[in-house]
Amino acid sequence: MNVLTDPLTYGFMQRAMLEACIVGGVCGIVGCFVVLRGLAFIGDALAHAVFPGVVISYMLDRSIVIGAFVFGFFTALGVGIVSRSRRVTEDSAIGVLFAAFFALGVVIISRQSGFRRDLGALLFGNVLGVSQSDVLVTIAIGAVVLLVLFALLKEFTLAAFDSTLARSLGYPVFWLDMTLLMLVTATIVVSLQTVGNILILALIVTPPATARLLTDDLYRMMFSSALIGVLSSAVGLYLSFYWDLAAGATIVLTATAFFVVALVVAPDHGLLAHEIQKRRGHHHVHHFHTADETLAEDA
């Protein structure tokens, strides 16, 4: 029995593995800018706001991508417009819109008899049930997201690290933010079947947060984050197969395990590194005090 290859003899596992690894990689790269721009709350809002679109598409037996994109677009646009009001903060606008849209999805579900048995797949994903056409859609959307991201990489990077400087240089920061929100929305849409509506944010935030502990260089962070996202997806899927666990949740927990390890042992920013630096600092201070005392005695 080969632990690595045996699960891949099944067609559904081949599709699931390809889907999960693509989603993990795309989430890892796009998530870097979510983390650097402090947009985790917006990512959570978008993940909840697309829920009614997913429900409506499911009811009409259409691709959930269509409904999710529609509601994600209007949410991103609404957040951008409402937050421009001086009387309404961005956080308030996000909170109002994502709560309203998610509540709308719940209301729609409550009116449909016999629909609740499918609720788990919408909320927590069903990566083992993806079809070949689902995988092709994921590849297409993921490719578009990455092409746009790398085409505007310089602008996104400047806006992420110093939005004030970007504005002073004439960059359209508002439209850059809107574009980034749409890329996040697209990433959420392709992640729905892998980790579900509730767990999406973890796959977008956890790999880049882990990579940020490992490096201070943006390009290395993006590469590391994508790699962590792919590894988390692959390892999580294997664990879920052999231990009969929920695939999406296992992928998220695997990513979290990588984060915890990095938090402890990261070379420069890990807890152990900080503790070692602190002890070295105390040692140097103690050494200087001893030297001073020796000089005083000699004098």
**Residues 6 or more apart in contact with residue 43 via CB below 8 angstroms:** 31, 34, 184, 188, 200, 201, 204, 205
In the chain, which ranges are E strands? none
**Nearest residue to 105 (alpha-carbon basis) of 138, 66, 67:** 67
How does DSSP classify residue 2? -
Tens of pLDDT, residue by residue over 138-196, are: 999 999 999 999 999 999 999 888 888 888 989 998 888 889 888 998 998 888 878 88
Domains of the chain by residue range:
11-202
Amino acid at 56: I
**How far is 188 from 50, CA to CA, in rounded Å?**
9
Domain 11-202: CATH superfamily is: ABC transporter involved in vitamin B12 uptake, BtuC (1.10.3470.10)
**Is pLDDT at 295 greater than 50 in this prediction?**
no
Q: SS3 sequence, 107-156?
A: HHHHCCCCCHHHHHHHHHCCHHHCCHHHHHHHHHHHHHHHHHHHHCHHHH
* Band of pLDDT at residue 88, cut at 50, 70 and 90: low
Tokens linked to 275: 């503790």
* Band of pLDDT at residue 2, cut at 50, 70 and 90: confident
The count of residues in the chain is 299
**Is pLDDT at 69 greater than 90 in this prediction?**
no
* pTM for this model (two decimals): 0.86
**Is pLDDT at 229 greater than 70 in this prediction?**
yes
Tokens linked to 208: 């880049």
pLDDT at 116: 57
pLDDT at 240: 94
- Which stretch of 23-37, 169-183, 199-213 has the lowest confidence by average pLDDT? 169-183
Q: What is the mean pLDDT of the chain?
A: 84
Residues 2-22 have a mean pLDDT of: 90
Percent of the chain with pLDDT over 90: 37
pLDDT at 159: 87
